[in-house]
A and B are shown apart, each in its own frame.
Chain A
Amino acid sequence: MGYFSVNLHSNLMTQWKLRYCKTRMVAFINGDLPEKSRRRIGRYIDDCPACYDEYVNQRRALQELKPELKRVGMPRPEQLDRIWNAIQTEMTPEMSKPVSRPPARARLAYQRTSYAVAMLVTILLVVVPLMLGNSGVSLAADTTLPEPAQRLTLARTDAPEDNVQSVAAATAEANIITTENLGTTLQATPRPVLEPGENN
């Protein structure tokens, strides 16, 4: 019973040490651990074969990875020259100097002016049409209808001659030329004077 208990305790301790080493081994190899942890892992590596194996494996992996990863993305000189030319193009002498900003008071005045203009535009676009619509005032001309035309109604008779006579009588008052006074009108009209060479 005592043997099994000791063996179980030993296994648990080994697992615990191994877990501790695994989480810190990379930092240990890189020299990034504090002194206390370094000493502890050093003891575990000496005592525990599994921890030693972990150390060997991690160290080998680091030796493999480091040179390979340092070679990834190595630029060619012409690439760096091209980028430098682009940087120089983008960097003008003014850029290296502190950016000059307008004074705070000027910026405030500018902002106030902007707000005032925005409010004015809002009033013009929204408020004024609303006021005009509610007051009943219209900018269009007055839409009164013209007087209806007076209709001349004639009594319908069977004798057309009488009808003609009555129309002639009605137009005579309005100084309209009718068949009756046509001759008189033509005689009263002066003869047009023709220019030489104008026969027609």
Chain B
Amino acid sequence: MEQQHPQSNDETTVNTTSREEPEILDAIARGIAGDQSGFADLYAHYASGVYRLCYSLLLNHQDAEDVVQEVFVYAFKNLHRYDPDRAAFKTWLYTITVSRCRNVYRRQRPLLVTLAQLFQTNISAPRSERPEAMMAERAAQDALVSALAALSSNLREAVMLRYGHGLTYREIAEVMNCPQKTAESRVRLAHERLRGVLEPVGEGLLQELMGF
């Protein structure tokens, strides 16, 4: 992706007292000023995370691509509404993302996902060349993704935001528009269910798979 880095517009200022990284604030300021390079920088910084979140919630590539496009177009058009003092840009972006994903699975059918499709395109190649380890890893991935697909949307959102994207419970509560305690209990419940899926695979094999 071709990106430009022109000089930032001095007339457009964003509050630098926030905890957001300076380069992100600079990109936001350039975006507000209408500079396309600001949009490009923001996209380069956040697109991967937004796509992973979309895919992990929708479990469908086409839907994920559509939502990512929607999210960034909406965010770029409404960049002036973002308040750095209230939340990190990532949290604001993820709030839009979760809202758009909810729209998708509200108007669509129940989640139907083929595991073969998921593994083929989303799980990286096995790190071990041993056939036993490969099979065990495959089984672990199979179990994990099927368990993820079987979770309710609330639990899936919570656990992916926490473990997949490293948000704090406060940020998760903000993104999911729920109390912090609710976010905590959702993460815990999802964690319990996913843990139950991974246990039968065997600790030894898993440690080998994970490279511990």
Contact = CB atoms under 8 A, between A and B. Distances in A.
* Interface residue SS majority, chain B: helix
Nearest to B203: A60
Interface string B164-180: 10001100000000000
Q: What interface size band does chain B fall in? A: 35 or more
Nearest to A29: B191
A97 interface: yes
Given A27-B184, A96-B76, A63 B34 contact: no
Given A72-B52, A73-B122, A95 B77 contact: yes
A79 B65 contact: yes
Contact of B162 (A30, A75, A81, A86): A30
A80 B164 contact: no
Contacts of B64: 73
B69 interface: yes
Contacts of A93: 34
Contacts of A83: 47, 51, 65, 68-69, 72
Interface string A37-65: 00000000000000000000110111111
Interface string B35-69: 01001100100011001111110000100110011
* Interface residue SS majority, chain A: helix
A96 B77 contact: yes
A26 B191 contact: yes
Given A79-B65, A82-B65, A72 B55 contact: yes
A95 B184 CA distance: 39
A62 B31 CA distance: 38
A32 B51 CA distance: 26
B192 to A, nearest CB: 9
B124 interface: yes
Contact of B145 (A57, A63, A72, A90): A72
B68 A73 contact: no
A23 B188 contact: yes
Given A69-B163, A71-B123, A96-B77, A32 B169 contact: yes
Contact of B122 (A72, A86, A91): A72
Contacts of B80: 98
Contacts of B212: 63
Contacts of B191: 26, 58, 61-62, 65
Interface residues of A, number: 39
27 contacts: A23-B188, A26-B187, A30-B162, A32-B169, A61-B194, A65-B144, A65-B198, A66-B163, A68-B141, A69-B148, A69-B164, A70-B164, A71-B123, A71-B124, A72-B52, A73-B53, A73-B64, A74-B52, A81-B1, A82-B65, A87-B39, A87-B43, A88-B36, A90-B69, A91-B76, A93-B34, A96-B39
Interface of B: 1, 31, 34, 36, 39-40, 43, 47-48, 51-56, 61, 64-65, 68-69, 72-73, 76-77, 80, 122-124, 140-141, 144-145, 148, 159-160, 162-164, 168-169, 184-185, 187-188, 191, 194-195, 198, 203, 206, 210, 212
